[in-house]
């Protein structure tokens, strides 16, 4: 029975003996709930641990009634965090406050940096070998925060830390599909850099699609500020949750399949990277091949147009500032 289940799930050749345990931290929130729902539907998930400081018993009870072959547990409050994390192969973190109109993602730093640092400290203690998927904003800074916490604990492995920038490529496909009247599922856009405003750089020149300069400028701006569209439309009640849940579930699924031994899986993600190191930037998103140990191969930026070179020049100082802010937050006296 177990053997046939392993075979069906493609885990026979993986380092796992079974499907994965996935923990969601911030599971009762706007992203956390639909993300947890989608993960309950994922056949690579054996155990789903839902952690939040509020409401997880209800969310877990509700999701646990879905008749897929995984076990759901709810964990509420810091004293239950260790149990949620223990034995997790993957930890997804959408815990933290969302933007209101007029705010930048960096404005969330004061609240979310502390939340992410506390959760990272627990992850370093209870699941130091887990893969960490950071959704909480500002991603440009929260990923370095997690890295610094893991370094301090002596357990940092850059191949297991990911900033989730999938929503940027999801949006890029959608917006290009709309402009070109084509199926967005078939439009692939390499989006590089970070996850805020000018640090989000869609490389439309690599799509093989012909655009006018006006289309390029409008599409680039829309992809860079897609999050603001949702914040404005939600009018003070939050930011993207449903599209983010789908994007987060897609990235988690890609990683789980790669961990299970499936080859050739590539997703863009914000990781410790060599590609912009020459410009003093330590974390950067490009397409990344995922493998049985997380990051397998970080792809280069590839050929860019003159317009995209300018985007890069504008992004670098902002990225540097965001990264330094995260690093300093953990290392301040
Ligand atoms: N990476 C990306 O592309 C995106 C990131 N985000 C970010 O995701 C984060 C969450 O957004 P929403 O779900 O809309 O917010 P939300 O406010 O609906 O949910 C956040 C959840 O985190 C929980 N939380 C707060 N402190 C916690 C702690 N110490 N431990 C565990 N849980 C804690 C809250 O109780 C709440 O349930 C925000 O920072 C937002 O900016 C949002 C959309 C896209
Ligand atoms: O815009 C926000 O604050 C949330 C987010 O990161 C996104 O939707 O891309």
Q: Which domain holds residue 302?
A: 166-331
Do 145 and 208 fall into the same domain?
no
Residue 40, classed as helix, strand or coil, is helix
The predicted structure's pLDDT at residue 292:
97
State pLDDT tens for residues 292-312.
Answer: 999 999 999 999 999 999 999
Domain boundary among 163, 192, 212: 163
Please say whether the beta carbons of 49 and 75 come within 8 A.
Answer: yes
Q: Tell me the β-bridge partners of 75.
A: 51
The stretch 180-193 carries a mean pLDDT of: 97
Residue 4 predicted with pLDDT over 70: no
In a domain, 190, yes or no: yes
Specify whether 177 is located in the same domain as 324: yes
Ligand 1, atom 41: closest residue by C-alpha: 98
- Using the mean position of ligand 2's atoms as its centre, give its distance from the Cα of residue 228 in Å: 7
Widest CA span of the chain, in angstroms? 58
Give the model confidence (pLDDT) of 77-111 as tens digits.
999 999 999 999 999 999 999 999 999 999 999 99
Is the residue at 249 inside a domain?
A: yes
44 is catalytic: no
Q: What percent of the chain has pLDDT over 70?
A: 94
Q: Are residues 197 and 315 in the same domain?
A: yes
Assess whether 57 and 184 both reside in one domain: no
Residue 122 Cβ < 6 Å to ligand 2: no
Calculate Rg over the CA atoms of the chain. Answer: 19
Is residue 15 pLDDT above 50, yes or no?
Answer: no
Q: What is the spatial distance between Cα 149 and Cα 151, in angstroms, rounded to a whole number?
A: 5
| DSSP one-letter code for 53 | S
Atom of ligand 1 nearest to the CA of 118: 29
* Confidence check: pLDDT of 333 > 70: no
**Residues annotated within a binding site for substrate:** 99, 105, 137, 171
Q: Is the pTM value of this prediction over 0.90?
A: yes
Position 184 confidence tier, pLDDT thresholds 50, 70, 90? very high
How far is the C-alpha of 309 from the C-alpha of 279, rounded, in Å? 13
306 or 9, which is more confident: 306
Q: Which of 96, 60, 92, 86 is nearest to 252 (CA)?
A: 92
Model confidence over 137-170: pLDDT tens digits?
Answer: 999 999 999 999 999 999 999 999 999 999 999 9
Q: Are residues 153 and 204 in the same domain?
A: no
Mean pLDDT in the chain? 95
Residue with tokens 């939340």: 115
Structural domains counted in the chain: 2
- The DSSP-derived string for 85-103 is HTT-SEEEE--SPPP-TT-
Residue having the nearest C-alpha atom to atom 2 of ligand 2: 227
**Residue 293 near residue 261 (C-beta atoms within 8 A):** no
């Amino acid at each position: 029975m177990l053997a046939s289940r392993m075979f069906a799930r493609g885990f026979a050749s993986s380092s796992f003996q079974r499907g994965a345990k996935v923990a969601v931290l911030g599971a009762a929130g706007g992203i956390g709930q639909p993300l947890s729902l989608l993960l309950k539907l994922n056949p690579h998930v054996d155990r789903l641990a839902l952690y939040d400081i509020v409401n997880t018993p209800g969310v877990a009870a509700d999701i646990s009634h879905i008749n897929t072959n995984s076990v759901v547990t709810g964990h509420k409050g810091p004293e239950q965090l260790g149990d949620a994390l223990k034995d997790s192969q993957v930890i997804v973190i959408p815990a933290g406050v969302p933007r209101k109109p007029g705010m930048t993602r960096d404005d969330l730093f004061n609240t979310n940096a502390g939340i992410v640092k506390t959760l990272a400290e627990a992850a370093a203690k209870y699941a130091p070998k887990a893969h960490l998927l950071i959704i909480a904003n500002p991603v440009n800074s929260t990923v370095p925060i997690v890295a610094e916490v893991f370094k301090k604990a002596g357990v940092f492995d850059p191949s297991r830390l990911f900033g989730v920038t999938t929503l940027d490529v999801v949006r890029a496909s959608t917006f290009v599909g709309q402009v070109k009247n084509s199926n967005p599922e078939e439009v692939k856009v390499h989006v590089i850099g970070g996850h805020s405003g000018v640090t989000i750089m869609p490389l439309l020149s690599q799509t093989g699609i012909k655009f006018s300069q006006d289309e390029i400028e409008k599409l680039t701006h829309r992809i860079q500020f897609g999050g603001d569209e949702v914040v404005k439309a939600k009018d003070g009640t939050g930011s993207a949750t449903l599209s983010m849940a789908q994007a987060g579930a897609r990235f988690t699924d890609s990683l789980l399949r790669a961990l299970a031994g499936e080859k050739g899986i590539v997703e863009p993600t914000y990781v410790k990277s060599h590609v912009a190191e020459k410009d003093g930037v330590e974390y950067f998103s490009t397409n990344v091949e995922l493998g049985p140990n997380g990051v397998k191969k970080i792809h280069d930026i590839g050929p860019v147009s003159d317009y995209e070179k300018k985007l890069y020049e504008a992004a670098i100082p902002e990225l540097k500032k965001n990264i330094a802010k995260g690093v300093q937050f953990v290392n301040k006296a």
